[in-house]
Amino acid sequence: MLDQRNIKRLAAQAGFDLCGVAPCRHLAANEARFRRWLGQGYQSSLAYLERHTEKRFDPARLVEGARTAVVCAVAYKNRTSDGYPATCRTKIASYACTTDYHTTIRNMLRGMLQALKAAYPGLEGRAFVDTAPLAEKQLAVEAGLGWIGRQSLLVTPQFGSFVLLGELLLNDETDAYDTPFEGSRCGSCRACIEHCPTGAILDERMIDTGRCIACHTIEREPDTGIDLDGWIFGCDACQSCCPYNRRAPQHRNPAFDTLFDPAELDAEAWRALDERQFTDCFGTTPLTRSGLERIRGNIRDKR
């Protein structure tokens, strides 16, 4: 049986700000809600979300024998997280101003998993960072880290929604599990809904990805045309207005220090870049997911 306190100690040593532990179980209510969302077509161009739904909400189907979910979060708030001037037309989501979090968090989790395997011979598990069908935000709620806000993101009391998640699914139980986070602390606040430029945030904590700026600038582009409101990669509009995010501290883990300042790159600077310069400057950041050509194509007033 795994020691919960040891798991949390390893998470802190790895550089995570939060860690919670939850038993693996079928999240039936969340699966039913997700299927209703799919049935309404709100996934738009994100067809991959239609696959492996049964695994997404039952960790034991994703990793055979999984009994424990270790959910880790690291805060990433930086100087761009509070927003941009209204006149800026080359806005970039603040998480994308750092080294790609997939690489960073995966390495942090792998270090934890190696240490756990050394301490517990026979332990098996897998690390996940946003690339597998896993309901990680709901698992974070189950592990007591926070609640799902109106903008459908995990909101933590300490760091708001400016957190990135990673998980370990393990084939053993722990001596104690965290209490799931009960309820929501959004109260009557509707700031995220009111500040979404395209009305993509719906009732019941749902998102219409066909109207979501982040989807239009990064994912396979939906058929619907929208005003990108000056965003060229991702969007922080529903986060920078959140009261929890406004009072959240700046990130503490130096692995999430910013590598560039988007405010220093106007449309002309982006258009002047060639592919080699783009790779030299941004090759380790999430911007490579879209690539230079698409980013330049997003620099326009209307879509």
Q: Is residue 231 part of a domain?
A: no
The reply to whether 109 falls in a domain is yes
Query: Does a structural domain hold residue 162?
Result: yes
State whether residue 217 is helix, strand or coil: helix
Residue that has been written with the tokens 């870049």 in this structure: 273
Number of structural domains the chain divides into: 1
Asked whether residue 44 is domain-assigned, the answer is yes
Strands 68-75 and 18-23: antiparallel
| Catalytic residue selected from 3, 17, 82, 130 | 130
In a domain, 106, yes or no: yes
Has residue 66 been placed in a domain?
yes
Cα separation of 295 and 218, whole Å? 9
pTM: 0.95
CATH number for the domain including 44?
3.40.109
Q: Confirm whether 301 is domain-assigned.
A: no
Furthest CA-CA distance within the chain: 58
* Residue ranges making up the domain that contains 156: 4-77+98-170
CB crowding 66-105: b at 16 or more within 10 Å, else e: bbbbbbbbbbbbbebbebbeeebbbbbbbbbbbebbeebb
Per-residue pLDDT in tens (0 to 9) along the chain, 303 residues: 999 999 999 999 999 999 999 999 999 999 999 999 999 999 999 999 999 999 999 999 999 999 999 999 999 999 999 999 989 999 999 999 999 999 999 999 999 999 999 999 999 999 999 989 999 999 999 999 999 999 999 999 999 999 999 999 999 999 999 999 999 999 999 999 999 999 999 989 999 999 999 999 999 999 888 999 999 999 999 999 999 999 999 999 999 999 999 999 999 999 999 999 999 999 999 999 999 999 999 997 443
- Secondary structure (DSSP) of 228-267: -TTEEE---HHHHT-HHHHTPPPP--GGG--S--GGG--H
Q: Considering the domain boundaries, does residue 48 fall inside one?
A: yes
Instruction: Give yes or no: 130 in active site.
Output: yes
